[in-house]
C-alpha cells in the first residue's frame, strides 16, 4: 500500500493552497536524490490499524531497518517475536505462534506493502499509480502533506486515499492509507537514522524450523 | 416458350419452382459444428450434453481486449453496465466471480453440509460457543504485527476459521480456500455476462440481441473496438449472417466467372441463360431434398451449391458443345454423349451416395444433396436443354476446332516424353505417399475454427483471462451422486494426479447432508450473533459467518432453497434428470489431454470428455475407419458402373489408371503448394473420383468411336473438358472467398484436384489408350483426311 508513496513526488497538479508544480517537481528531485544516497536507514514505528466494524484500533510497534539496494527487516516489539524480512525477491514472515513462512515479494499479496516501502526507500517511482491517483501537495508549517486520491475509474481494490507526511528535511514521518471499504492503516516513524552501519546479521536468511 | 409446349415439362418446372421456393423459405440453417460429427463418439456426446445442459443460450459475454489496462476496462464496464441492463430481454448483467463472491457464505455452507459426518463435526466444533469466543478474542492479536492484505480480508470474511477447519479436516471442501483466494484475486473483470430472460434459440433472436448489445457499446463508448461479443448466441448470430452472405457471394462470383468463361469460348451468352436456369432448377431439387429429408442445411452443405454448379455444369457444356458442332444431327454421336452423361452422373452420384453410409451426419446430408442435384442436372441437360438447343442450334467458333486440333498434334508429337514424365511423377508421388502418408493430412479441428470471427476472437480472450483456462472438462453421468464422485476421483487420479478444481468438490452428497442435518445444533446462528456483539465486532465481521450458519440451519430444518443464490450457481455444474445425475468435472492443467485410452466407464457410470482435443483424435480414427469401410464399396460401385458403360475390361482398367494418376498428381500438387487436407477436404476424394470418371468415360468413349483418333477426340471433347474443368474450378474454388477456413482449404484442394483430373484425362489417358490398343491407329495426315 505504501507503494504509492513515491507517486507523491510526481505531482500532476496543484490546488489552491497547494505547492506549485515547479515546487512539487523540485521536491521530488530532492527526495529522489536523497534516497539514492541512502545506504542504510532505520527507524522506530507505530502501526495503527482501524477496521470497519471494530470498536478499537489495533496498534503494533517495532523497528524497521533498510539496507540498499533491496534488503528490509521489520521487527515487532508489539506483538513480540514477529518479524518480516525481505532480501531480493524472498520474503520471510514470522507471525507469533505460527510457522515461519516464505513468500515471493513480487508475486504474493503479502509482498505488496513491503515492495512499496522498499520502492519509497530506494527512491524509485511507481509507474501504475500515476494513472490511478490524483495528487495534491501542500506545505503545512514546514511539513509536506502529499495526498493521493483514487480516481473514479481506478481499480476497485486500491486504497481510497494515501496521505504521506514528509518533514522539511525530507525524512518520512508518516504514511496513512485509507482502505477501499473504510478502515485505515497508519505508519508513524520516529528516531529515523540514515547511513549508519547496520548489523549484517539482521539480513541473514532465517532457517525455517 | 418451346419448353412450355409440353405439359410434362411445364409440370416439372412448376413443381420445382414452387417446391424450391417453399423449401428455401422453410429450411433451417444449421450453424453448429457438433451435429455434423458422429454422435456415437464420446467427445461429441460430451460436448453436445455440455452445451445442452450447461452452456447457456441465455448468456452473451462482452469481453475486453486483454491489451486494455485495468483502468480502461473498469471505466468501460462501469459506463456500459447500466445501459446493458436496460436492453429489453436482458435479465441480469454480472461480472465474473461476482455471483461467486456474493454467494460465498452459502457456497461454503453447502460445502460444509455435504461433508462426511466426522468432518462436519469438526466444522461444528469451530462454531461452538467456546471455540467462537476464544477465536474472536484473539482477533486483535492476529491483526497486529506483520500484515498481509489478503489475510486481512480473509479474516474479516471468516473470523472463526471455518474454511481453515475444512482444510485441516482434509476434506475436499477445503478447496473452498482456493476458491476464496481466486475470488479475492479478481480485481477488475475482463468481461461482463449478460443473461437474457428467454433462451435465444432462433437466428433472428440471436441477431436482434447481439445487435442491441453492439448498439449500446457504440452509443456509450463511441469508436471503442476493443470490446467484442462471444457466447453461443453471438456465434449463432455471426455464423448465420456470415453463411447467408457467403452463399450469396459465392454463387454470384461463380455465376459471373462461368458466364465470362462461356462467353470467352463461345462468344455468346444466350444459351448460358438456359444452362443457368436448369442449374438453378437442379439446385432447387437439392434444396427440396434437404428440406424434406433433413429439414435443415448445415455448414458443410453450404458448399453444395458450388459443387453442383461445378460438376453438373459439365453436362450442360458437353450438350451445348455437341449442338454447336457439325455432328449435331448425328444421332449416334448424341446417343453416345447422352449415355456418357448418364453414366457419369450415375457414377458420381453413386460415389457420393456411398457417403450416406458415412459415420459423419454432415457428409451424409451433403452426399444426398449432391447426388440428387447431379441426377436432376443430367436429366435437364439431356432433356430440356436439348429441346432448347435443337430449336435454335448454336454455332461453335471455328477457332475452337483449330485450337483443339493443334493441341492434339502437339500431344501426339510429344507423346513419349509426356507419358514417361507422367509415369515418373506418378511413381514419385506414390513414393512420397508411401514414406510420409501423414504429411498430406492435418487432423486437428483448427481448420474449422473461424480465426477471423469476432466471436471466436472474443472467446480466445475469454479463455486467456479465465482462471480455469487450463482446466480439462469432463461430463460424468451415473445414477447416483456417490458414483459420480467416485468416477470423478478416479478420473482425476488418471489425468491430473488427483487434482480437481474447486467446483468439483462441491458435488452434492445427499446422504451426508441428511446425516449432518441431524447433527446440527439449532439456534447456532442466534448464539453466534451474540458472541460477535460481545467481542465488539459488528456486521462487517459477523455477516458472512451468520449467513453460513443460517443456511445450515435452514438446510437442517429442510427448508427449500436453504442455500439461496448458491443453488443457481451449483446448477451450472451439476444437474439431475429422470434419476440420472450429470456433473461437470474440471481437472486443472488437463485441457490438452485427451481422455485416457483405458475405459473409464464403470457399470452405470459414463465419462464423456468435453474436449476438442479428444474429439480431434476420435474424428481422425473414425474418418480412417470410414475410409477403409466405404472406400471398397465406392470402388466397387465405380467398377460396376464403368463396366456397364464401357463393356471392356481394358477400358475399365484405363478408367482406374486415370483415377490413380490423377490422385497421385493431386498429391504432388498438394506437396508443391504446401497444402494439407483437412477432415472436410477429404470430401474432395469422392468428388475427384466422380470428375475423373466423368472425363475419362467421355474421352474413352470418343476414342473408341474414332478408332483412337486424337484429333477427332479433341475436336469433340477438348474444348468442353477444358471448359467444364474451368467451370468446376470456379464452382469449387468459390469457397476460397468465404470466411470459413475449412471451406477455403476445401476449395484449394478441389481446384488442384480438378487441374490434375483435366490434365490426366486430356493428355495422359489418350496416350495410355493408344499405347494399350492392339489394333491399328490412324494418326497424323490420315487423321486430317478423316476429319
User: SS3 for A153?
Assistant: coil
pLDDT average, residue stretch A125-149: 72
Measured CA to CA, the distance from residue B787 to residue B780 in angstroms comes to 11
User: SS3 for B568?
Assistant: helix
Cβ contact, residue pair A110, B151, below 8 Å? yes
Residue A46 has phi, psi (to 5 degrees) of -125, 130
Which helix H or strand E contains B550, and what residues bound it? helix B539-556
Within 8 A of B538 by CB-CB distance, chain A residues are 52-53
Say if residues B341 and B315 touch (Cβ distance below 8 Å): yes
pLDDT along chain B (787 residues), means of 10: 78 92 85 73 76 73 86 85 92 82 85 86 86 87 80 81 68 53 61 87 84 93 89 81 75 80 82 85 87 79 66 82 86 87 85 80 80 89 90 84 90 90 89 79 62 74 64 81 83 75 76 90 90 86 91 91 85 82 78 57 74 69 78 83 85 91 91 83 76 86 87 87 85 76 83 92 92 63 43
User: SS3 for B545?
Assistant: helix
Cell of A36: 539514492
Cβ contact, residue pair B541, A74, below 8 Å? no
Cβ contact, residue pair B152, A95, below 8 Å? no
Q: What is the pTM of this model?
A: 0.63
Measured CA to CA, the distance from residue B59 to residue B76 in angstroms comes to 20
pLDDT average, residue stretch A14-27: 68
Say if residues B116 and B515 touch (Cβ distance below 8 Å): no
pLDDT, position B606: 82
Residue A2 — pLDDT band, cuts 50, 70, 90? very low
* Strands, E assignment, B565-658: 574-577, 580-587, 605-609
Least confident range of A22-26, A80-84, B130-134, B280-284: A22-26
Within 8 A of B75 by CB-CB distance, chain A residues are 153
Within 8 A of A76 by CB-CB distance, chain B residues are 144-146
More confidently predicted of B555 and A202? B555
* Strands, E assignment, B65-162: 90-94
pLDDT, position A16: 35
pLDDT, position B357: 83
pLDDT, position B181: 55
Taking alpha carbons only, the member of A48, A90, A44, A62 closest to residue A203 is A90
The ipTM is: 0.80
Q: Which residues contact A86 (CB under 8 A, 6 or more apart)?
A: A70, A71, A72, A73, A92, A105, A111, A114, A118
Within 8 A of A56 by CB-CB distance, chain B residues are 140, 536
pLDDT, position B74: 82
Please report the number of interchain residue pairs, chain A to chain B, with beta-carbon separation below 8 angstroms: 86
Mutate to test the interface with A, among B73, B144, B153, B529 (most CBs of A within 10 A): B144
Cell 456426446 locates to B45
pLDDT exceeds 70 at position A135: yes
Percent with pLDDT over 90 in chain A: 16
Within 8 A of A48 by CB-CB distance, chain B residues are none
How many angstroms separate the CA of residue A149 from the nearest CA in chain B? 15
- Cα end-to-end span (Å), chain A: 30
Residue A156 — pLDDT band, cuts 50, 70, 90? low
Residue A154 has phi, psi (to 5 degrees) of -70, 165
Within 8 A of B143 by CB-CB distance, chain A residues are 49, 51, 58
The dihedral of CA B394, B399, B402, B407: what is its sign? negative
Cell of B288: 427440396
The answer to whether residue A58 neighbours chain B at the CB level (below 8 Å) is yes
Measured CA to CA, the distance from residue B787 to residue B326 in angstroms comes to 11
Cell of B512: 451426508
pLDDT, position B344: 83
**CA nearest to A56 within chain B:** B536
Mutate to test the interface with B, among A49, A53, A152, A186 (most CBs of B within 10 A): A53
Measured CA to CA, the distance from residue B731 to residue A167 in angstroms comes to 82
Taking alpha carbons only, the member of B704, B703, B755 closest to residue B726 is B755
**CA nearest to A158 within chain B:** B187
Amino acid at each position: 500500500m505504501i507503494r504509492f508513496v513515491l507517486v507523491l513526488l510526481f505531482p500532476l497538479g496543484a490546488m489552491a493552497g497547494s505547492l506549485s508544480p515547479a515546487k512539487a517537481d523540485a521536491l521530488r528531485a530532492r527526495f529522489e536524490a536523497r534516497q539514492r544516497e541512502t545506504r542504510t536507514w532505520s527507524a522506530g514505528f507505530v502501526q495503527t490499524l482501524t477496521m470497519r466494524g471494530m470498536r478499537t484500533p489495533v496498534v503494533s510497534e517495532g523497528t524497521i531497518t533498510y539496507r540498499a539496494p533491496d534488503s528490509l527487516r521489520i521487527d515487532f516489539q508489539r506483538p513480540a517475536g514477529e518479524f518480516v524480512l525481505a532480501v531480493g525477491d524472498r520474503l520471510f514472515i514470522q507471525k507469533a505462534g505460527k510457522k515461519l513462512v516464505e513468500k515471493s515479494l513480487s508475486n504474493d499479496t503479502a509482498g505488496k506493502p513491503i515492495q512499496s516501502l522498499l520502492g519509497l526507500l530506494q527512491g524509485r517511482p511507481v509507474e501504475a499509480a500515476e494513472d490511478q491517483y490524483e495528487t495534491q501537495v501542500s506545505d503545512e508549517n514546514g511539513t509536506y502533506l502529499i495526498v493521493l486520491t483514487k480516481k473514479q475509474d481506478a481499480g476497485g481494490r486500491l486504497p481510497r486515499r494515501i496521505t504521506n507526511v514528509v518533514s522539511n528535511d525530507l525524512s518520512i514521518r508518516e504514511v496513512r492509507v485509507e482502505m477501499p471499504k473504510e478502515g485505515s492503516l497508519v505508519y508513524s516513524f520516529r528516531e529515523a537514522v540514515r547511513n549508519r552501519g547496520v548489523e549484517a546479521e539482521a539480513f541473514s536468511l532465517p532457517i525455517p524450523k | 416458350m418451346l419448353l412450355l409446349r409440353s405439359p410434362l415439362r411445364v409440370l416439372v418446372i412448376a413443381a420445382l419452382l414452387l417446391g424450391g421456393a417453399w423449401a428455401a423459405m422453410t429450411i433451417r440453417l444449421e450453424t453448429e459444428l457438433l451435429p455434423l460429427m458422429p454422435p456415437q463418439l464420446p467427445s461429441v456426446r460430451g460436448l453436445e450434453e455440455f452445451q445442452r445442459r450447461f452452456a447457456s443460450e441465455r448468456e452473451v459475454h462482452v469481453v475486453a481486449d486483454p491489451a486494455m489496462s485495468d483502468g480502461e476496462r473498469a471505466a468501460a464496464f462501469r459506463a456500459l453496465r447500466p445501459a446493458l441492463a436496460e436492453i429489453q430481454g436482458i435479465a441480469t448483467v454480472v461480472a465474473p466471480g461476482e455471483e461467486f463472491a456474493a454467494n460465498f457464505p452459502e457456497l461454503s455452507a453447502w460445502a460444509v453440509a455435504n461433508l462426511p459426518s466426522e468432518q462436519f463435526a469438526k466444522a461444528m466444533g469451530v462454531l461452538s460457543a467456546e471455540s467462537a469466543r476464544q477465536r474472536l478474542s484473539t482477533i486483535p492479536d492476529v491483526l497486529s504485527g506483520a500484515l498481509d492484505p489478503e489475510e486481512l480480508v480473509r479474516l474479516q470474511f471468516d473470523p472463526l476459521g471455518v474454511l481453515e477447519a475444512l482444510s485441516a479436516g482434509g476434506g475436499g471442501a477445503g478447496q473452498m480456500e482456493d476458491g476464496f483466494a481466486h475470488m479475492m484475486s479478481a480485481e477488475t473483470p475482463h468481461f461482463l455476462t449478460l443473461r437474457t430472460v428467454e433462451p435465444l434459440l432462433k437466428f433472428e433472436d440471436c441477431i436482434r440481441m447481439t445487435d442491441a448489445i453492439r448498439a449500446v457499446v457504440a452509443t456509450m463508448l463511441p469508436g471503442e473496438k476493443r470490446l467484442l461479443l462471444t457466447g453461443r448466441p453471438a456465434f449463432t448470430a455471426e455464423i448465420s449472417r456470415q453463411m447467408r452472405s457467403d452463399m450469396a457471394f459465392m454463387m454470384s462470383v461463380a455465376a459471373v466467372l462461368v458466364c465470362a468463361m462461356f462467353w470467352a469460348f463461345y462468344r455468346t451468352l444466350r444459351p448460358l441463360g438456359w444452362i443457368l436456369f436448369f442449374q438453378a432448377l437442379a439446385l432447387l431439387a437439392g434444396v427440396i431434398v434437404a428440406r424434406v429429408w433433413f429439414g435443415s442445411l448445415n455448414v458443410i452443405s453450404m458448399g453444395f451449391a458450388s459443387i453442383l454448379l461445378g460438376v453438373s455444369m459439365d453436362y450442360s457444356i458437353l450438350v451445348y458443345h455437341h449442338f454447336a458442332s457439325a455432328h449435331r444431327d448425328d444421332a449416334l454421336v448424341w446417343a453416345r454423349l447422352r449415355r456418357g452423361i448418364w453414366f457419369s452422373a450415375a457414377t458420381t452420384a453413386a460415389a457420393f451416395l456411398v457417403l450416406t453410409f458415412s459415420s459423419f451426419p454432415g457428409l451424409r446430408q451433403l452426399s444426398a444433396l449432391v447426388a440428387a442435384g447431379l441426377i436432376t442436372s443430367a436429366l435437364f441437360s439431356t432433356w430440356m436443354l436439348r429441346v432448347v438447343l435443337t430449336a435454335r442450334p448454336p454455332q461453335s467458333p471455328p477457332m475452337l476446332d483449330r485450337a483443339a486440333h493443334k493441341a492434339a498434334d502437339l500431344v501426339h508429337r510429344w507423346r513419349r516424353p509426356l507419358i514417361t514424365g507422367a509415369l515418373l511423377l506418378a511413381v514419385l508421388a506414390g513414393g512420397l505417399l508411401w514414406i510420409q502418408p501423414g504429411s498430406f493430412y492435418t487432423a486437428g479441428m483448427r481448420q474449422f475454427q473461424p480465426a477471423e470471427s469476432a466471436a471466436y476472437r472474443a472467446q480466445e480472450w475469454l479463455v486467456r483471462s479465465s482462471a480455469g483456462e487450463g482446466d480439462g472438462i469432463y461430463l460424468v453421468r451415473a445414477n447416483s451422486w456417490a458414483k459420480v464422485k467416485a468416477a470423478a476421483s478416479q478420473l482425476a487420479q488418471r489425468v491430473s494426479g488427483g487434482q480437481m478444481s474447486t467446483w468439483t468438490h462441491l458435488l452434492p452428497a445427499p446422504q451426508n447432508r441428511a446425516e449432518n442435518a441431524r447433527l446440527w445444533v439449532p439456534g447456532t446462528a442466534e448464539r453466534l450473533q451474540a458472541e460477535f456483539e460481545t467481542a465488539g465486532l459488528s456486521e462487517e465481521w459477523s455477516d458472512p459467518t451468520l449467513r453460513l450458519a443460517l443456511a445450515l440451519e435452514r438446510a437442517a430444518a429442510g427448508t427449500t432453497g436453504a442455500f439461496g443464490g448458491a443453488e443457481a450457481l451449483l446448477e451450472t455444474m451439476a444437474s439431475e434428470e429422470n434419476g440420472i445425475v450429470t456433473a461437470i468435472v474440471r481437472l486443472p492443467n488437463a485441457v490438452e489431454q485427451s481422455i485416457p485410452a483405458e475405459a473409464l466407464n464403470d457399470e452405470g457410470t459414463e465419462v464423456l470428455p468435453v474436449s476438442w482435443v479428444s474429439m480431434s483424435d476420435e474424428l481422425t480414427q473414425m474418418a480412417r475407419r470410414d475410409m477403409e469401410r466405404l472406400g471398397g464399396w465406392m470402388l466397387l460401385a465405380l467398377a460396376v458402373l464403368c463396366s456397364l458403360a464401357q463393356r471392356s475390361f481394358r477400358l475399365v482398367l484405363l478408367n482406374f489408371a486415370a483415377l490413380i494418376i490423377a490422385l497421385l498428381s493431386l498429391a504432388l500438387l498438394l506437396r508443391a503448394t504446401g497444402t494439407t487436407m483437412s477432415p472436410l477436404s477429404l470430401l474432395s476424394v469422392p468428388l475427384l473420383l466422380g470428375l475423373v470418371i466423368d472425363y475419362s468415360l467421355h474421352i474413352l468413349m470418343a476414342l473408341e468411336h474414332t478408332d483412337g483418333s486424337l484429333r477427332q477426340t479433341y475436336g469433340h471433347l477438348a474444348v468442353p473438358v477444358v471448359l467444364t474443368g474451368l467451370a468446376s474450378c470456379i464452382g469449387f474454388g468459390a469457397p476460397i472467398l468465404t470466411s470459413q477456413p475449412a471451406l477455403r482449404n476445401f476449395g484449394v484442394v478441389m481446384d488442384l484436384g480438378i487441374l490434375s483430373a483435366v490434365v490426366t484425362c486430356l493428355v495422359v489417358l489418350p496416350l495410355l489408350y493408344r499405347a494399350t490398343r492392339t489394333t491399328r491407329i490412324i494418326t497424323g495426315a490420315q487423321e486430317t483426311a478423316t476429319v
